[in-house]
């Protein structure tokens, strides 16, 4: 009896908290604020008379995001399960609102809605990403083994298509639409790694994409996207227009060398790269911090994804694991595509670098997603004997 009591006292149940994940997120967030100030100070002074204009706005968004992250992290993640359908509908409604008087136009695109009385603009595509992750996580649990059938497979892959379609048609935001579909494919692959289905789908996507690129490059299909394809294949052919931003980004990367010119010493940010604090901020990182800084940041993203993978593998249930997988897909796909665009590996399209590029909606909802991951992590039980 005494032995069993002693054993029960020794057996303790602790709850896991991933401080490594939190550190990486805070590091990327802090580094992003530094680089936003460095990349935007010249243009902010020219346009607003305040070199810290963009820094201040991003700092406010980051603080709001951290508050939201702490709030979400301390709520059991199963609480959000009941909102999977509502979230899907709300995301669709918010996307449609960009075509109302609430829609805010910037740089030739209407992708935001203004929140009256706050001065804050919300990008519905960022809301849609987290809502789709929640929706698919619940559907994986509801379908169970049916997900391995062709019907279940196509339902999971195609269910985010209406949201992605609305984003593409109403906001002309192809990159966010592709990211949402990419998240769906990754989540289905993890839930049911049937290689045959993915080989068939991948072959079809590559074939269709190759044909589309060929038709655009040869001028059979003409649109602003075909101009981007041409600029991607040969940036020098339109160096003063479509290829200008790409060429300037490549100049920045090349001039940075191995160690960079030093923090704040970029030349390309002096109005050569338009809106350098946004999608092209990675090129400024390469110019100021060199190849060393670029690799260091990529390693931090790899560490972030690895820590989330550990959480997903040890999640208490399938729903928690799929939530984390969805967040992994979002951050990984977006980071890879951003670096690919900046280095001209893929055609130029507006994709921000998670936690680092300027954008209030992006950083707030990314931190909310991290809050979900931390909520799952906190429910992982560690038993010590």
Helix/strand/coil for 344:
coil
Angle subtended by helix axes 19-48 and 360-378, to nearest 10: 170
The answer, yes or no, to whether residue 165 has pLDDT greater than 50, is yes
Q: pLDDT tens digits, residue range 230-262?
A: 666 677 766 666 777 888 888 888 888 888 898
User: What confidence tier does 214 reach under pLDDT thresholds 50, 70, 90?
Assistant: low
CA neighbor of 338 nearest in space, from 327, 352, 348: 352
What average pLDDT does range 44-56 have in this prediction?
89
Confidence of residue 226 (pLDDT cuts 50, 70, 90): low
273/280 Cα distance (integer angstroms) = 8
- How many residues does the structure list for the chain? 385
Label residues 102-113 b or e (16+ Cβ within 10 Å = b).
Answer: ebeeeeeeebbb
Please list the alpha-helical segments (H only) found in the chain. Answer: 2-10, 19-48, 53-73, 84-96, 124-143, 150-158, 161-171, 174-191, 195-217, 224-233, 244-256, 281-313, 318-342, 360-378
What local confidence, expressed as pLDDT, does residue 5 receive? 42
Which range scores top for mean pLDDT: 172-186, 196-210, 264-278, 319-333?
319-333
User: Most distant CA pair in the chain: distance in Å?
Assistant: 85
How many percent of the chain have pLDDT more than 90?
44
Instruction: Report pLDDT for 47.
Output: 85
**According to the model, what pLDDT value does residue 383 have?**
54
User: For residue 42, which of 284, 348, 354 has the smallest C-alpha distance?
Assistant: 284
Q: pTM of the prediction?
A: 0.90
pLDDT at 9 (0 to 100): 43
């Amino acid at each position: 009896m005494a032995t069993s009591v002693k054993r029960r006292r020794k057996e303790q149940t602790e709850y896991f908290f991933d401080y490594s994940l939190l550190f990486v997120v805070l590091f990327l967030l802090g580094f992003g604020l530094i680089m936003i100030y460095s990349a935007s100070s010249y243009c902010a002074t020219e346009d607003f008379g305040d070199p810290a204009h963009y820094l201040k706005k991003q700092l406010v968004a980051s603080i709001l995001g951290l508050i939201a992250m702490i709030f979400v992290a301390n709520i059991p993640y199963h609480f959000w399960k009941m909102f999977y359908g509502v979230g899907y509908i709300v995301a669709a409604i918010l996307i449609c609102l960009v075509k109302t008087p609430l829609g805010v136009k910037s740089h030739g695109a209407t992708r935001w809605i203004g929140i009256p009385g706050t001065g804050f603009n919300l990008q519905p595509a960022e809301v849609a990403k987290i809502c789709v992750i929640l929706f698919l996580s619940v559907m994986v649990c509801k379908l169970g083994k049916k997900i391995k059938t062709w019907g279940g497979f196509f339902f999971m892959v195609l269910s985010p298509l209406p949201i992605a379609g609305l984003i593409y048609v109403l906001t002309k935001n192809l990159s966010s639409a592709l990211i949402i579909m990419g998240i769906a494919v990754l989540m289905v692959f993890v839930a049911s790694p049937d290689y045959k289905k993915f080989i068939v789908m991948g072959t079809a996507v590559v074939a269709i994409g190759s044909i589309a690129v060929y038709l655009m490059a040869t001028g059979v299909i003409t649109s602003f996207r075909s101009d981007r394809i041409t600029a991607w294949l040969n940036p020098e052919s339109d160096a003063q227009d479509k290829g200008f931003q790409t060429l300037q980004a490549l100049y920045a990367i090349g001039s940075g060398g191995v160690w960079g010119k030093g923090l704040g010493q970029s030349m390309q940010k002096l109005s050569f790269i338009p809106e350098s604090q946004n999608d092209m901020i990675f090129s400024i990182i390469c110019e100021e911090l060199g190849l060393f800084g670029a690799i260091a940041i990529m390693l931090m993203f790899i560490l972030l994804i690895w820590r989330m993978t550990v959480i997903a593998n040890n999640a208490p249930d399938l729903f928690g694991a799929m939530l984390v997988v969805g967040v992994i897909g979002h951050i990984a796909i977006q980071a890879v595509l951003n670096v690919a665009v900046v280095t001209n590996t893929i055609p130029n399209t507006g994709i921000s670098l998670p936690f680092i590029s300027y954008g209030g909606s992006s950083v707030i909802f990314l931190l909310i997603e991290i809050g979900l991951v931390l909520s799952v992590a906190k429910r992982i039980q560690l038993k010590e004997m």
